[in-house]
Amino acid sequence: MPITDCELATDVRIPCPELVNLYGCRVGNQTSIGPFVEIQRGCTVGDRCKISSHSFLCEGVELEEHVFVGHGVMFTNDLLPASTNPDGSLKGANDWNLLRTRVSRGAAIGSNATILCGITIGESALIGAGAVVTQDVPAYAIVVGVPARVTGDIRSRTAVPPEVSRMTANEVAS
Ligand SMILES: CC(C)(COP(=O)(O)OP(=O)(O)OC[C@H]1O[C@@H](n2cnc3c(N)ncnc32)[C@H](O)[C@@H]1OP(=O)(O)O)[C@@H](O)C(=O)NCCC(=O)NCCS
């Protein structure tokens, strides 16, 4: 599978470049991308992200820095998908509404999660394995289930990585 028309930072790690499908996307420094990942045109992936195998990032998805994406995570960008228009003609590029999704710095998405579109996942939030995220996730929240609901706060479970906590402290202060 190809890597075409992408802006890859100098130290992007793609151990199996023949097994990914990346086109028209931007990927930041020290980010790693596992096999069988597709990243579509217009996606932005920040520095030091980790995208595990079999995940799909569609047009309109933005990952900020230090985001973890587990295995087989599916993003979406069309809330009301359809193959054809009401008149039976095939839908084209202008026949649907793209909804963007942002995953904030330090967030982590468990394996097999589905992220509906038009959503913001807050800083350092943790999405449980298999969750279906249908609405915005607050910063630091742990969410699980279908639909995903808040069940905890990551700050009570683990230390937040120092760089992330430093940034948060500065932001809170400003
Ligand atoms: C969500 C997660 C962080 C656990 O959070 P937690 O707060 O420690 O949850 P606990 O293990 O204490 O479980 C609390 C409850 O949530 C349930 N639960 C835990 N994870 C769940 C999940 N992913 N989906 C649905 N329910 C889940 C538990 O069954 C338990 O339910 P109960 O109270 O009825 O018994 C973890 O289960 C998870 O999904 N991690 C992601 C793993 C992953 O995908 N890694 C990717 C790389 S390998």
Q: Is the CB of 111 under 6 A from ligand 1?
A: yes
What is the Å distance from ligand 1's center to 97 Cα?
Answer: 33
Region of residue 124 (phi > 0: left; psi between -120 and 50: alpha; otherwise: beta):
left
DSSP string, 20-79: -EEES-EE-TT-EE-TT-EE-TT-EE-TT-EE-TT-EE-TTEEE-TT-EE-TT-EE---S
Structure tokens at 9: 């930072």
Burial class of 94 by CB neighbour count within 10 A (0 to 12, 13 to 18, 19+): exposed
Structure tokens at 30: 């020290």
Q: Cis peptide before 138, with omega less than 30 degrees from 0?
A: no
Which residue is listed with tokens 């963007």?
100
Taking only the tens place, the pLDDT of each residue in 92-138 is 989 999 999 999 999 999 999 999 999 999 999 999 999 999 999 99
Structure tokens at 43: 């996606």
- Say how far apart CA 86 and CA 89 lie, in whole Å: 7
Ranges under pLDDT 70 in the chain? 1, 158-174
Q: Is the CB of 142 under 6 A from ligand 1?
A: yes
> What domain range is 124 assigned to?
3-173
Domain count, the chain: 1
Output the domain CATH number for residue 88. 2.160.10.10
Model pTM?
Answer: 0.91
What is the Å distance from ligand 1's center to 25 Cα?
Answer: 32
